Structure 1
Amino acid sequence: MKFRLPEMEDRSEIMLYIQEHYSNNEKSLSATSSLPLMEYGEWVKKIHDNTFISDPVWGKSFTYLAFSDENELVGFLSIRFDMPEDLALKYGHIGYGVRPHQRRKGYAGQMLHFALDKCRELGMESVTVGCYKENIGSAKTITKNGGRLIREIKVDKKISDYWEIQLVDQFYEIELNNRDLED
């Protein structure tokens, strides 16, 4: 799987991705950072800018396109690494979406694993990831990656579950005396 920021030449492939979701009666697109609400060129600029310049509300983020080994756009991945804590608790640090015909093939797990590695590189100690309660596949993906359910709230007439994933191993010091070392 390959990940990269969107470019202008990705427009037609992204439009096919969006159309597939709409044809599947899905009204919202995960991790697309307001793409359907903006002019495409403006959106690409915003995505590139947000990697270096903090958005006044959302902070810095990466929005990656995720491609299969066959170079098909299979999903979007958003890593919101600089967002205010109150928004992180409501929306999560990581969001991902997989196009309908590519689901149940392990892509979401690969995307989340990549995002967790990126968050570790950025020095984050833990992240929050959310999904709608009815999205059993996403919940399984999150728990397989170490997610621990921390809360459940109603968002936009749906129930959302939120999971915390620790990124730093916890080490405990054990005090040994010299006699224990000699045994």
Structure 2
Amino acid sequence: MPELILPTARLGPSFAAAIREFLAEGRGGPDDRTLLGDLIRQAGPPEDTGPWIARVLDFERMLTDDPPASFVPCTTYWWTDGDTYLGRINLRHRLNEHLREYGGHIGYDIRPTARRRGHATAMLAAALPHAAALGIEKALITCDDDNIASRKVIEANNGVFEDQRGTKLRYRVPTAPGGGPRRD
């Protein structure tokens, strides 16, 4: 049964295979301004080696322990099934001005070969209690206006449409049953 875990070297080969899938669909290029794109550029070409996965884990830890000045602290979780990496979700501990407009509290990616199986919906549901533990009562989650799949994931997790800014749809998602007052 899939579960959220902290990134681990044990899944290095499966994670490397997933990165190859993302690269095949064009992720990781200079125009990919996502955390996944940043990770791909930082860690370099995917390899099934100890040094490569160590670079991946260093990047993931840096986001929580010592983020660059332009980042807010966040925790990355991997969605896994046994030794198979399925996806990742980033939970930002707070929002800065840019994230309030475009990125939100939570961002996620499912590897291409694991899509359309409900993993994104389940992964987001599993991450919401972690957001609640950080004091986030209603997580801001955004998606592109043409990303129907992501919109369905957010709405399946009780996301309430807030507004649209440019091409970004903005939703508030309660992190605990019953939600609570809006909080950044």
Give, as a single letter, the amino acid of the residue that structure 2 aligns with 1:36: I
**Residue aligning to 1:21:** 22
Structure 2 residue runs without a partner (length 5+): 44-51
Aligned identity (percent) is 23
Q: Give the whole-Å Cα distance in 2 for the aligned partners of 1:23 and 1:37.
A: 14
**Residue aligning to 2:49:** none
Q: What are the equivalent positions in structure 2 for 1:114-129 lying under 5 Å apart?
A: 114-129=126-141
**Residue aligning to 1:34:** 38
* 1:160 lines up with 2:161 in the alignment: no
Q: Give the whole-Å Cα distance in 2 for the aligned partners of 1:19 and 1:126.
A: 34
CA pair 59-30 structure 1, distance change in 2 beyond 3 A: closer
Q: TM-score, normalised by structure 1?
A: 0.77
CA pair 114-85 structure 1, distance change in 2 beyond 3 A: farther
Larger radius of gyration: 1
**Residue aligning to 1:61:** 74
Q: Give the whole-Å Cα distance in 1 for the aligned partners of 2:35 and 2:77.
A: 9
> More deviation in 8-17 or 116-125?
8-17
Q: Give the whole-Å Cα distance in 1 for the aligned partners of 2:71 and 2:95.
A: 5
Q: TM-score, normalised by structure 2?
A: 0.76
Q: What are the equivalent positions in structure 2 for 1:1-183 lying under 5 Å apart?
A: 1-26=2-27, 28=32, 31-32=35-36, 34-39=38-43, 40=52, 41-68=54-81, 70-154=82-166, 159-167=167-175, 169=178
Cα deviation, residue 135, structure 1 = 1.5
**Residue aligning to 1:178:** none
Q: How many residues align?
A: 166
Give, as a single letter, the amino acid of the residue that structure 2 aligns with 1:20: E
CA pair 10-29 structure 1, distance change in 2 beyond 3 A: farther
CA pair 100-29 structure 1, distance change in 2 beyond 3 A: farther
Q: Deviations over 1:14-64 (max 9, x none)?
A: 221111123245564965271111134344223224334454222211112
Cα deviation, residue 129, structure 1 = 0.7
Q: Deviations over 1:116-157 (max 9, x none)?
A: 111011111221111122221110110111111222233xxx
Q: Over aligned residues, Cα RMSD in angstroms? A: 2.5
Structure 1 residue runs without a partner (length 5+): 172-183
